[in-house]
Structure 1
Amino acid sequence: MQNILVVDDEAIQRRVLAKMIREARPNCKVLEAKNGQEALGVIQRDDIDIVFTDIKMPILDGLELIEEMNASSHDIKVIILSGYRYFEYAQKAIQLGAFDYLVKPVKEESIAQILEKVESSIRKEKTNQLENEEIKQQLNRTLSVYYERLLSDWVTGGIAESKCNEIRQQFSLESKGIVIVAKLNDESLLMESLYSVDRMKSDMLSGIEGRSSSIGPSVSFYSGEDKSMLITVLTMVRSFTEEIGTLTKLLKEFTAQTFEQFGMPLTIGIGEERSNLFQEARHSCKEALTAASFRYFLHTQDVIQYSEISGLIRTMHYDYLKEEELFKESIRKTKSEQIVKHVDDWFERILENGLPYPDQWNKAVIRMVSGVASAIKDFVTDQDYKDILLEAETRLSASSDYAICKSRFLDTLLQFMDIIQKSRSKKHETVIATCIHYLEMNYMEDLSLDRVSNHLFFSPNYLSLIFKNHLGMTFSKYLTDVRIKKGIELLQNSNMKVYEIAAKVGFKDDKYFYRVFKSRFGVTPDEYRRNNHMHKKEVD
């Protein structure tokens, strides 16, 4: 869709021409202006592609309008509207760069023809522009691939002095400076981004180059080993301590803009200053990478200087067997509150005396999980055990910061506890089912909790406990319920005396049978039987 402007001081002619253009190109946006000065305002406000303008107008005429447009950066096709008596003005307009002219009164077929002609010219120019741009980009890519590789080798491993001189001359760098590393917190976001990855990376490169160059001569490029890592070599005339405040502010602006524009959280690490950066760039780069990695613990900071954290770094060794036993004991006892407390204590204690290297800490956490997992080994199959450990290790390794690691570690330990709970619950359900079956088959005998538990090889306390936990009643109440149920069946389907039924279903005393029955149903066994017979007769 194109934006077309009609400029004419005569309102009727302007509106008629605008209407003819709208009918010829209904998808185009057609605007109007009554003189050249008003037209310039529209051009500045809207992205105009084509202008139809009269020559003779007050304030600013058509020729002056063309001259003003020539002085601007707008690439606009101008069609002059001219009567026969002003034809020499149309020729003058063509000399000034007008695309073509139309003689008034303008006809509909003339409008269609001139629009087709100008649109064809615009398409051809755009095609040529794209071809030229592609050629230019190919040349730039060829150049950038060479220097990107050279710069990457320089800051990661060092290069020959001749190559250092080449970099110095190519990018006009000073000897004194630092290396800055900007790294995505989550590389998978690149795959999820709706924005063109190449366009995004290009904009990020321009963003950091623009800010760093305000401090001193610099060059920015993507790492040859890790394309999600943006490296900036910043050189300066003044000392780093004089520039760090301004630099930090600019880098924080850059991370905020990147997140706002692309939804990509960045961490920036700053290496220490080197007086001879061409020989020591790799050291400053390593420090910048180390500083960026400590976002793992300092998750509220997005710009981290190596000089600020170097004194806090400590090497750690795995000596947490005591904590490992505490975790296992809490899991076996299924005490979730204890697990949470032990995790809080352990994670807080790790940071009391300094910051371990993130990769060392991550390995320690994974080793702890592997040790604690032995608590569940007897409750799962060998394959399930391996799968559980692999999943836990994968999730912990992918933790982007200390807080997420802690949350996932706690979830893993609570999962271990849940496995034991469910396994024990399943075992209890099996015991209950076995006991119920035994009572159903032997309710008529002289049964007691001790007798049944001895027969099933369980302790009386254990059997009593799981009856209460799983059935919500005592062993004796459940046995009485079974006997009453069997007694009702005999009352309904036999002619046995009540005292005979009581003995048949396991009650030693028929008076106790009477008492329990009436307490349960509100009637005696005899009354229940009579009422049941009367109900059957009514039904029959």
Structure 2
Amino acid sequence: MKVLIADDEMHIRNGLRTGIDWESLGIDMVLTAEDGREAHLVCQKERPEIIITDIRMPGMDGLELTGQAGRSLGAKKVIILSGYSEFEYAKKAIGLGVVDYLLKPVNIRELSELVEKCAADIREEERREGLTRQEKIRDILDKKLPAEEIRNILYRKGGEILCPPEIAVGAVSLDKSYGRYIQGYEKVRGDVPGSRTVYLAEADEVLVYMAEIRTREERSGYYAEFAGLLNAVNRKLAGMGSCSMGVSGRGAVTDIPQLFEQAKKALAHRMYLGDGSCIYFDMARLNQEKMYPFLQFDRRRARESVEMLRIDQLRELISVHFDEMKRMKCTDVKAAQELCVTIKNVVFDVMREKGVDIAGILDSNQELFQSQMEYTSLDGYEAWICDYCDLLLRGLKDLSGKCYSAVISKAVDYMNQHYGEDITLKSLAEKVNKSASYFSCIFKKEMGVNFNEYLNQVRIKNAMEMLRLPDVVIYEVAEKTGFHDYKYFTKVFRKLCGCSPTEYINHKK
């Protein structure tokens, strides 16, 4: 946020500029001007949100500056500085919408409090304006507004409407594969630094961005612009998941509803292209063929695989079918879901015939079996149904989890060696080549506790060893054992050891 100090007395300008801790008030830049005309030029170039101005200045007085800057130059709050003899001017200033006036000599504390209040009011006004603008943009995307209103909402600046010759629209959506779906877009919503694309709104479960195309270079380079935007968004997720993007063709600002539909149609192609894709409408061949993959699924061969307990053979059969769906560029979510249900039912039928306690198996692996079968790519559906069948067939063999010892042994060894690092369920599952939901199920089944509980046990065990050393510093032990929150370290330590780290050290002395 910017503030402009306009006063023809240098000692007042410099005193205010250096005598106030502007950063603590939420001010990023302090500008100065020695008269009204210079102040007007600064407002034209920098557009400060807050103006602090003397009433009497050469060239243009504070009241005229207030009127012009507030009408067309973006100033949102104005504070007038005046002497006792100018009280009538101050009353007139209030009529122009000035926030307040202060009598000279200025009280620094009083001015600081007033600026802080102005900054807070501006942020709240911008928040409300942003919500109102997003509601209007959603109306645009829903085709509820006429063309002139679209131009007015998106591109009215002052008294003019300055639309670019063309625009393109990008629809960004969080990926749901492998059950790792972030509820909400708080992490990635909004403008991305360094990108020329503009964030518009959240609509139809996607984040909508717009790229302005004003030059020949931008027309040929807008694909790369959106690809860069997607990379930046995925970096903001910091390993918590991924996003995909559909990008429209080019069109006029008034075509934005149609461009939005193109972007969403392009996004649907991540089903076969995979998560993390940036897909362009002009390049995506829309597949109009209705698919019923479950009708072509080889049930007989699948039954044989289940009856013979040939897990690898069933996985291969599933993989072949999903590969065929990718080759046919399937974008139909229901087709993938129906195929998964068909495969699951084949396995259930064989297990019922053999008198297996299906309910017991499902109950002991609830995390995977009760997860929603809603993914954004064929890879996600394939991984889910393979893990599902894997657990069912292992239950059919009644191996009671012993077959997972190699996987869990590798995971436990890694935790014992790297307990001081950031280890997540997802990252460890990737180390042992399993999906997170599947790995979570088999870990708890064999170890008797969930992943987080066991990791805390390993960390606290090593913390106890370190706390036995002389001249130990507790918060350093917490950091070395992977606890970046000291309070959480103390809480877990007390839970597992029955005392605080300090009490543990004193007891050992």
Q: TM-score, normalised by structure 2?
A: 0.48
Larger RCO (alpha carbons 8 Å, 6+ apart): 2
Q: Counting helix residues as a fraction of each chain, which structure ranks higher?
A: 1
Q: TM-score, normalised by structure 1?
A: 0.45
